[in-house]
Chain A
Amino acid sequence: KQEVTQIPAALSVPEGENLVLNCSFTDSAIYNLQWFRQDPGKGLTSLLLIQSSQREQTSGRLNASLDKSSGRSTLYIAASQPGDSATYLCAVRSAQGGSEKLVFGKGMKLTVNP
């Protein structure tokens, strides 16, 4: 059974820091990995999608990497801003259990202080 873990559960940093958010998964036979952002009381917004054949994806100040063999992904946020404060979730789509479904981590709550 695929399991996704995000540690730590929360992080508080001063504005301007470069951040690394971690995501690990137990079954490396994945189709893709997706990073989401969730603001309080809102739905999830897709940030980046990395296919299993890719090593990384970039969008603006965000860069996500994927290391399938070690079962890890990182989301790098450059020059963090207070507007980056949110909960960040990663999810994997894998062959285990059916490709129609994603398995989510519990998320990491990020607070960027001005």
Chain B
Amino acid sequence: SQTIHQWPATLVQPVGSPLSLECTVEGTSNPNLYWYRQAAGRGLQLLFYSVGIGQISSEVPQNLSASRPQDRQFILSSKKLLLSDSGFYLCAWSRGGASISPLHFGNGTRLTVT
């Protein structure tokens, strides 16, 4: 069966510090991978998605970047965090090449920028 791992679960970082959140998927190959952010009072905002190694699509221009160094690894990064980067970050995957495939989420990372 497929599983998705996301870490850390919580993170408190000062403004201006770097960020690296990691997500890995097990039990499947060539998945589509996604980073979402959920801010208080707002819906889920798609930040990045990837359909393959090195292929990253950015949905919202901002202070963040994403990379996919391996087939089942997706990393969300920032060089300098802003207060507005605080939120709940969720990684997700779906079966690659199948628009009918369901989306599965990790447990999320609660990021607080102070």
Contacts and interface: CB of A to CB of B under 8 A. Distances in A.
18 contacts: A31-B100, A41-B88, A42-B107, A42-B108, A43-B90, A44-B92, A44-B105, A46-B103, A91-B44, A91-B103, A100-B51, A100-B57, A101-B49, A101-B59, A102-B103, A104-B43, A104-B44, A107-B43
B59 to A, nearest CB: 8
A51 interface: yes
Interface string B76-95: 00000000000010101000
Contacts of B102: 32, 34, 46, 49
B43 A106 contact: yes
A102 B65 CA distance: 20
A48 B103 CA distance: 11
Contacts of A102: 46, 103
Interface of A: 31-32, 34, 36, 41-46, 49, 51, 89, 91, 93, 99-102, 104-107
Contacts of B57: 100
A90 B107 CA distance: 18
Q: How many interface residues does chain B have, given as a range?
A: 20 to 34
Given A31-B100, A32-B100, A89 B108 contact: no
Main secondary structure, interface of A, reads strand
Given A31-B99, A31-B100, A93-B99, A43 B105 contact: yes
A47 to B, nearest CB: 10
Contacts of B6: 43
Interface string B40-71: 00111010010100000101000000000000
A80 to B, nearest CB: 24
A66 to B, nearest CB: 13
Contact of B104 (A42, A46, A93, A105): A46
A89 B51 contact: no
Given A101-B46, A106-B42, A106-B43, A51 B107 contact: no
